[in-house]
């Protein structure tokens, strides 16, 4: 049960800080993509900024929701 509450907390934290997390990971992706492209490896562009923000927000909400549903089924 403690693990489920931790998952809820992690999911809500991701949803709360989704913009900062997405921006950080996008910067890392851009740097890694540039390094590979400089060596001749063709890679697709990184996700657009707004799409990355939306993706991480949905990921956080889904994680928290999934854990809430698991707690509900456990107590039922």
Could you report the per-residue pLDDT of 7-41, keeping only the tens digit for each?
999 999 999 999 999 999 999 999 999 999 999 99
Q: How far apart are CA 47 and CA 39, in angstroms?
A: 21
Task: Give the chain's mean pLDDT.
Answer: 94
- What six digits make up the tokens of 36? 């590979």
Contact 64, 15 (CB under 8 A): yes
The model carries a pTM of: 0.84
Length of the chain in terms of residues written: 76
């Amino acid at each position: 049960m403690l693990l489920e509450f931790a998952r809820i907390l992690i999911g809500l934290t991701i949803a709360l800080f989704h913009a900062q997390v997405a921006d950080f990971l996008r910067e890392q992706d851009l740097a890694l993509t540039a390094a590979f492209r400089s060596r001749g490896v063709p890679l697709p562009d990184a996700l657009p900024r707004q799409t990355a923000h939306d993706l991480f927000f949905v990921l956080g909400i889904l994680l928290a929701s999934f854990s809430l549903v698991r707690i509900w089924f456990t107590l039922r």
